[in-house]
Homo-oligomer: A and B are copies of this chain.
Amino acid sequence: MKVVCLDMEGVLTPEIWIHVARRTQIQELNLTTRDVKDYRELMERRIVICHKHGVTLEKIQGYISELEVFPGAREFLDWIRERYQLVILSDTFYEFAGHFMRLLGRPTLLAHNISFNAETEKLEFFLRQENAKAKAVQALRSLNLRVLAAGDSYNDIHMLKEAHTASFFRAPANIREQFPEYGNLQEYSELQDFIAQNL
């Protein structure tokens, strides 16, 4: 009756928008939730930038398909799934994450939706709900599940707070310093030990 909640980008996979920025050579797309706390604001900025440069959903999906998950991520998830339940809580979009979910053996993912409006030539995103990661942890707790959470970004803080036990994983220094109550693990083997000892 234990569930592990993991962020996706930065924990299991590379940051999608960083890769899109690299491939399109659009410097402005390098911002992530590590830099801008308000996710809706961040996405709105990205959409304006994509529109300006003709970046469609199809193009982004093409760039994503070039990426691999982090080395050891699949094995790490398989280890979790043999012992506990697993839910990936991500502020990415199902339309982006499909490639990674295939590589990771299709764990359960709670994310958002995005589409491309051919008339306006703009991306349109639909957030499932505000503060979605924290709400998901609350919902899991309402089912009498014990929840362990790990993430690396500002948008993970409320998820970490709602969980019974939590840790940062590969979080950048500025976030770690703001929230020193969470440890910061670097390797899957360390996170595995943390889970085994705390969940």
Contact = CB atoms under 8 A, between A and B. Distances in A.
Given A82-B106, A108-B87, A128 B145 contact: yes
A105 B144 CA distance: 24
A85 B97 CA distance: 12
Interface stretch (A13-21, A135-143, A181-189, A190-198): A135-143
Interface string A65-107: 0000000000000100110011100000010000000000111
Interface residues of A, number: 27
Contacts of A31: none
A178 interface: no
Given A85-B109, A110-B143, A135-B142, 10 more contacts: A1-B94, A81-B106, A87-B108, A105-B105, A105-B106, A108-B108, A128-B145, A132-B143, A139-B142, A142-B142
